[in-house]
């Protein structure tokens, strides 16, 4: 499907997730153009922009149109060098653990996780590969059975930044405090009001209201549901100077590392959300009306 806005043309990737935006220079975004981009972002959750020539300052300036930038805790808490507003992506033959290989949402360990992420890829593997998969977490919740949906509404989960660090072999010193937070398992999207499944394997440590075994079994079922249910997914094939903007509250992503020993490089900025995630409250009784 191709949608025509006044300032650009938009081609959807799937009916429920993702779109490519054609005819936009992200280094020069007027107020009228931004209003249309914000509408497309709300509708499609993942926006792909090709052939962008952006400096780091222009990358950040575009992202700031959607809100203040979020500082990465690896820079502010662990003392890693570099601009705290930019997370650099550098995967090569020496990389031991690639960023984003598990389905996740960025920094859900924060008390206020990011609103959105904007990843700008400047180097792609010459032989191809390195695609990113995205999954619609509104649809992930909707496609569960009603008894499971009803149960999840009563639950909260503990998200630990330390769990994510362990996957990369990083152990903070005792004085380095990394973010951790409790969030509802099902949150209400702050703009659409729709319920969103909000657990992910890199950060979610446990479901608080369940026993350890029950929590592990429930989380494994939910992760498996996200991984194998391809109707939730769209796929972005990267090319040099492509920027992808996604709604971090409603979308998971998975970076495919299928290009070893070749290299992939880029930078990501994250955009602050206005408030912590709030639990979805089903006021309809039948559990179905919200899907209309």
pLDDT at 5 over 80: yes
Q: Which two tokens stand for residue 124?
A: 């792609």
Q: How confident is the model at residue 4 (pLDDT cuts 50, 70, 90)?
A: confident
Beta strands in 82-139, from DSSP E residues, in sequence order: 87-91, 116-123, 132-136
The pLDDT mean for the chain works out to 95
Q: Which two tokens stand for residue 41?
A: 């972002």
pLDDT at 139 over 60: yes
pLDDT of residue 171: 87
pLDDT of residue 285: 57
Q: How confident is the model at residue 291 (pLDDT cuts 50, 70, 90)?
A: very low
Nearest to 278 by CA among 159, 147, 120, 113: 113
Active site residue 268: yes
270, 116 in Cβ contact below 8 A?
A: yes
**Which is the catalytic residue, given 159, 183, 252, 268?**
268
Nearest to 197 by CA among 255, 283, 116, 139: 139
Backbone angles phi, psi at 91, to 5 degrees: -115, 125
Please list, in sequence order, all residues whose beta carbon lies within 8 angstroms of the beta carbon of residue 41, skipping any fewer than 6 positions away: 47, 66, 116, 245, 247
92, 263 in Cβ contact below 8 A?
A: yes
Tokens 């999207």 label which residue?
189
Instruction: Kindly report, residue by residue over 175-197, the tens digit of the pLDDT.
Output: 899 999 999 999 999 999 999 99
120, 59 in Cβ contact below 8 A?
A: yes
Domain that holds residue 284: 2-291
Task: State how far the alpha carbon of 24 is from the alpha carbons of 51, 213, 291, in Å.
Answer: 9, 50, 32
Q: Which two tokens stand for residue 72?
A: 């990465």
**Which is the catalytic residue, given 44, 72, 159, 253?**
253
Task: Give CA–CA dist 202/205, Å, rounded.
Answer: 8
Rg over alpha carbons for the chain, rounded to the nearest Å, is 19
pLDDT at 99 over 90: no
Task: Give CA–CA dist 74/71, Å, rounded.
Answer: 9
pLDDT of residue 1: 64
Active site residue 253: yes
Number of domains, the chain: 1
What does the pLDDT average to over 275-283? 94
Instruction: Kindly report, residue by residue over 20-63, the tens digit of the pLDDT.
Output: 999 999 999 999 999 999 999 999 999 999 999 999 999 999 99
33, 6 in Cβ contact below 8 A?
A: no
> Can you give the pTM of this predicted structure?
0.95
Which CATH number characterizes residue 270's domain? 3.60.130.10
**Which is the catalytic residue, given 44, 59, 72, 106?**
106
**Which is the catalytic residue, given 44, 59, 72, 104?**
104
Task: Give CA–CA dist 179/195, Å, rounded.
Answer: 24
In the DSSP assignment, the letter for residue 179 is P
13, 50 in Cβ contact below 8 A?
A: no
Active site residue 61: no
Q: How confident is the model at residue 292 (pLDDT cuts 50, 70, 90)?
A: very low
pLDDT at 19 over 80: yes
∠185-98-169 over CA atoms, to 5°? 80
């Amino acid at each position: 499907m191709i949608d025509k806005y006044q300032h650009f043309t938009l081609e959807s990737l799937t009916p429920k997730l993702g779109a490519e935006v054609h005819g936009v220079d992200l280094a020069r975004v007027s107020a009228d153009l931004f209003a249309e981009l914000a509408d497309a972002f709300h509708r499609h959750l993942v926006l792909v922009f090709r052939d962008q020539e952006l400096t780091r300052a222009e990358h950040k300036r575009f992202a700031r149109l959607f809100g203040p930038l979020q500082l990465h805790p690896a820079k502010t808490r662990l003392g890693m060098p570099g601009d705290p507003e930019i997370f650099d992506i550098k995967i090569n033959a020496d990389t031991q653990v690639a960023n984003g290989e598990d389905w996740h949402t960025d920094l859900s360990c924060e008390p206020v996780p990011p609103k959105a992420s904007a990843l700008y890829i400047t180097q792609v593997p010459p032989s191809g590969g390195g695609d990113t998969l995205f999954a619609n977490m509104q649809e992930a919740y909707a496609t569960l059975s009603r008894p499971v949906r009803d149960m999840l509404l009563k639950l909260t989960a503990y998200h630990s930044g330390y769990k994510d660090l362990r996957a990369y072999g990083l152990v903070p010193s005792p004085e380095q405090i990394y973010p951790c937070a409790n969030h509802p398992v099902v949150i209400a999207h702050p703009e659409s009001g729709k319920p969103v499944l909000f657990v992910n394997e890199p950060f979610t440590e446990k479901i608080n209201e369940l026993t350890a075994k029950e929590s592990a079994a429930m989380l494994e079922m939910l992760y498996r549901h996200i991984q194998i249910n391809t109707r939730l997914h769209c796929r972005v094939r990267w090319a040099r100077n492509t920027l992808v903007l996604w709604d971090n509250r409603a979308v998971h992503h998975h970076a495919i590392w299928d290009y070893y020993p070749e290299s992939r490089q880029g930078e990501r900025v994250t955009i602050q959300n206005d408030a912590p995630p709030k639990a979805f409250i089903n006021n309809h009784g039948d559990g179905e009306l919200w899907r209309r």
